[in-house]
Amino acid sequence: MQRYLDFMLIRFGVLAGGIVVLALVIFAVALSLKRRGRLDEARRYAEPAARAVLRAAARRRDARR
């Protein structure tokens, strides 16, 4: 049982660390885009893709029900 708990704790730590690193990378990219004045341009390009992803997720959720 102890080994299982150790494994779960390590797994949680790796996942939490990965999420933190991903958040820092996204923050750094957004900050560099803002400094160069291209953040609004990036938003215009990313908005249609984000809307498509949300629509696909909603369709998948509705299909499950």
DSSP 16-50: HHHHHHHHHHHHHHHHHHHHHT-HHHHHHHHHHHH
Q: Where are the domains of the chain?
A: 2-64
User: What confidence tens digit (pLDDT) does each residue in 33-56 have?
Assistant: 989 988 888 888 889 999 999 999
Per-residue b/e over 1-16, b at no fewer than 16 CB within 10 Å?
Answer: eeeeeeeeeeeeeeee
pTM of the shown model: 0.65
Which amino acid makes up residue 32?
S
Q: What is the pLDDT of residue 40?
A: 86
Contact between 21 and 29 (Cβ < 8 Å): no
